[in-house]
Chain A
Amino acid sequence: MTGYLYHTDEDRSAMLAAIGAASVQEIIDAQVPADVQLRRPLAIAAGMDEITLESLLRRLAAKNASAASHVCFLGGGAYDHFIPAAVDEIAGRGEYYTSYTPYQAEVSQGNLQVMFEYETLVTQLTGLEVSNASLYDGGSAAVEAVLMALAADPKRTKVVTSSGLHPQYRESLATYLQNIDAACEVVETSATGTSEQMIEQIDASTACVLIQHPNFFGRLEDVKQIAAAAHAAGALVIQVFDPVSVGLLKRPGDLGADIAVAEGQSLGNPLAYGGPYLGIIACREKLIRRMPGRIAGQTSDRRGKRCWVLTLQTREQHIRRDKATSNICSNQALLALRATVHLSLLGPQGLRETAEHCVRKTHYAREQFRSSERFEIVLDGPVFKEFVVRDREGAVEELMEHALSQGMLAGVPLGTWYPELHDCFLVAVTEKRTRDEIDQLVQVLSSAFVAV
């Protein structure tokens, strides 16, 4: 039989003899009522050896386009940033990826120290004082941040955000808010950002404002102005940020955010069709007891040696059950390890240069699109690493298909989420893209003959 089974027939006999049972079926029959037992084999194809399995998976993988086979200009919350070999090498160590949550601190110091280092790096990226050890992804991190704000003052039930927030984050938030006493006000974004419109919505019932900067369209927002208005009304400020952007841009904490969340995929994690990713969350000291998920802290052992443990666990579900700050148990530790290694490799200069590449290449690409007669730039203004293009011929899906056939993942069509942008697509440019690739993208799309 294929698989990873251990016992020889001789082992099985000896084990059953020690148990005092004639068969495993007898042990099962003693517990599982006969009328709920499955009396047929599972209808799943017979197992397979490693050679056959690998061949099957390679066939399935070959049917997909990817950032490895195509030049990738897709963004919208997941990006084709470079992943150094050392990240894969370290995360590929079984001592990391086959270990469990570090509840037994004595035999988990490696994982715990990595968590502590990760948390420190996140505070450095955000300019805030407290980070947890990770959440699932950027979207659920945004939701958890809102739940923190709602819990901080139960009388405040209003959440203000904008259409510049990632549409899937908005949808996730709406899902969670369906069952609790809170409502979300979504203002429309414009070419100048969303700060004015958001500020108008802030009132005494507002628990928090949730602002993405740079926003979903790549545009920079005026977080400082929003934060001032929110704080004046006693509301908290949650910023969704891009961890690469803070190589150049002011950090959430420096802009006045009380909670910062991000998708950490950009920090050394593969695209993997959307997951597993890394939910980053950080907050100010005053909110520490409301932070969801695991936190590693420093302490000393009985011999006085510095060491690391999981701490402040009375916030968590395994201790507090229905009174916990969140239900999260499994997190994204391995992705947090990858981010930790990645940031250690980048260092301050590497992060700054990566951000500079994004900004300059993105602006270059945008100017190339602007100079093509076919295209128009919408939601114009300063951007970080993506921007919105309108196809005057209104054939976005066809254009993207054409680009695919030319070896390019050209952009993300926006019509699904924004009916008014049905003829627009989002183009993202990371440090990996070259001038030739950008020129080719614009050339391929400008010259495409597409019957509409």
Chain B
Amino acid sequence: MRNKQATQLIFELSRPGRRAATLPPVDLPVAEVAELLPADQLAGAPPPLPELTEGEVVRHFVNLSTLNMSVDTHFYPLGSCTMKYNPKRNERLASLPGLAAVHPLQSDNSVQGLLQLLYELQEMLAEISGLPAVSLQPAAGAHGELAALMVAAAYFRQRGEQRTVVLTADSAHGTNPASAAMVGYETRTVKSRADGLVDVEDLRAKMDDRVAVFMLTNPNTLGLFDSQIREITSLVHERGGLIYLDGANMNAILGIARPGDFGADLMHYNPHKTFSGPHGGGGPGAGPICVRDFLAPFLPRPVVVRDGDSYRLENENGDSIGRVRSFFGNVGVLVRAYCYIRTYGGAGLRQVSEDAVLGANYLLSRVKHILDVPHGDRCMHEFVASASRLKKEKGISAMDLAKRVLDYGFHAPTVYFPLVVNEAVMVEPTETESKETLDAFAEALFRITEEAPELLQDAPHSTRISRPDDVTASRRPIIRWQPE
């Protein structure tokens, strides 16, 4: 039974004079604030925050939570996002007071346990990537891309090389060109071939001495491991460029192939994907980066170093690009990643990827009888189908399909990405879904394609709202509540 009050805004539920928090009396022999601070600095009244009791606040936000789909409640085959199960033990452990209540400016000797954990995480990420030097500082994948491109820029600056261009694949995440632009690079796009892999001839044509970095996602956003990877990386290295690996798809290759071994010079991880730190409704993530030895001096500072039995933050790194944020990094997310990696161990991580590949290929083997899958019979951890034919024959778009999937009690796949597939439907089941769930999802897709187009074009039908008006939202933005 839906609580109808829940969808009122917290501001509409507010009543003057109600309150939740009370503070102890100020038992101090000091003056009132008005005598301590200059009058012209003081506001006449506090900000007009809502006024509610604790019970009302709790009911409001608990009820709102029930309007979300989540991994805890639903299958979430959202391509490119790796929505795997988020272990409860990691939540408990990250909130241990000896980790969660540590102040960022404590002395190194008062945080030895935490520094040990972070040091070991650096080592494990280096081993998984095959790239020896690690910075845990970036706050998200895109932030890691940015930091790594700054590392590359500092490297070329020190060598006195004027390289002004970053190449990105046409199938790349939007963050790749956006990050390059923030570091002042001109971005140029490398085309994909019809089979979804990098068009090496196009890369060869665009790869000149002005190119600093080629940003590559491998496996790519079509879920394909690029078999030409050696040729690609040598081509870039021969012209003095660096290879950046967007690690968004690391869930496919843990213990199977290492970016450092296939030619990447820099990369980021998304621990909130690969290592199950939850997505939090959009964040927080983390974006640790790994680089080759010769790029290590340029990493953001500080990094954790070990001296015998003790650990400390190393700040004395003259070539470092500096900080990219305040304090150490998204430690809470990193602690969860540490717990995840320690739970599986080396052999277990390989099994994670093997199962992710197995699940995706199994679902592909069923979906290819329902939708066209333009890029073949095999994939790594995800695949991209196309609703093009459905659209032509029945007027059903990828969006219609996605919206109708919601009615069947599944989160929708990613649609309209990557941009290189028309009416793209991108499916990533992850390793933490059973065969029965994958079967039920395939069955739902099949039934949907048999349904009347009108039913789909109005979908979803079972959710509290359906097809919000995005155009009006953007043309006449209402982005805050105001009293009438």
Among candidates A64, A250, A297, A323, residue contacting B473 with C-beta atoms closer than 8 Å? A297
Per-position contact with A for B130-150: 1 when CB-CB < 8 Å, else 0?
A: 100000000111110110001
| A273 contacts B346, C-beta separation under 8 Å | no
| A329 contacts B65, C-beta separation under 8 Å | no
- Taking the closest CB of chain A, its distance from the CB of B383, in whole angstroms, is 12
| A47 contacts B103, C-beta separation under 8 Å | no
A443 lies within 8 A of chain B by Cβ:
no
- Taking the closest CB of chain A, its distance from the CB of B65, in whole angstroms, is 4
| B23 contacts A353, C-beta separation under 8 Å | yes
- Can you list 21 A-B pairs with a CB-CB distance of less than 8 A? A3-B344, A3-B348, A31-B227, A66-B99, A68-B101, A78-B103, A89-B58, A93-B65, A97-B279, A114-B61, A121-B49, A125-B47, A136-B139, A275-B333, A277-B326, A322-B180, A326-B182, A327-B143, A327-B181, A356-B26, A361-B28
The 7 closest A-B pairs by CB, nearest first: A274-B327, A61-B98, A63-B113, A94-B72, A47-B345, A139-B326, A334-B280
Q: Known pairs A42-B347, A44-B128, A306-B7. 13 more at Cβ < 8 A? A: A27-B357, A31-B224, A32-B257, A53-B339, A54-B89, A63-B113, A119-B480, A175-B323, A178-B321, A276-B283, A305-B465, A324-B174, A344-B61
Name the CB-closest residue of B to A124. B47
A335 to B177, CA, bound (A): 27
Count chain B residues whose beta carbon lies closer than 8 angstroms to a beta carbon of A. 206
- Taking the closest CB of chain B, its distance from the CB of A215, in whole angstroms, is 13
A306 to B355, CA, bound (A): 42
| B342 contacts A56, C-beta separation under 8 Å | yes
A76 to B327, CA, bound (A): 10
| A409 / chain B contacts, CB cutoff of 8 Å | 103, 106, 110
B67 lies within 8 A of chain A by Cβ:
yes
- Taking the closest CB of chain B, its distance from the CB of A239, in whole angstroms, is 13
A435 to B29, CA, bound (A): 9
Name the CB-closest residue of A to B43. A250
Q: Interface extent on A, as a size class?
A: 35 or more
Among candidates A131, A168, A251, A317, residue contacting B326 with C-beta atoms closer than 8 Å? A168
| A274 / chain B contacts, CB cutoff of 8 Å | 104, 326-329, 331
A302 to B470, CA, bound (A): 11
Task: Select the stretch in B199-207, B236-244, B361-369, B443-451 that faces chain A.
Answer: B361-369
| B258 / chain A contacts, CB cutoff of 8 Å | 38
A26 to B343, CA, bound (A): 27
A129 lies within 8 A of chain B by Cβ:
yes
Per-position contact with B for A121-160: 1 when CB-CB < 8 Å, else 0?
A: 1011101011101101111100000010000000000000
| A232 / chain B contacts, CB cutoff of 8 Å | none
With A3-B344, A133-B282 in contact, is A247–B332 under 8 Å at CB? no
B1 lies within 8 A of chain A by Cβ:
no
A191 lies within 8 A of chain B by Cβ:
no
| B176 / chain A contacts, CB cutoff of 8 Å | 321
Among candidates A42, A60, A331, residue contacting B349 with C-beta atoms closer than 8 Å? A42
| B43 / chain A contacts, CB cutoff of 8 Å | 246, 248-251, 254
A169 to B286, CA, bound (A): 19
| B187 / chain A contacts, CB cutoff of 8 Å | 321-322
| A330 contacts B323, C-beta separation under 8 Å | no
| A275 contacts B30, C-beta separation under 8 Å | no
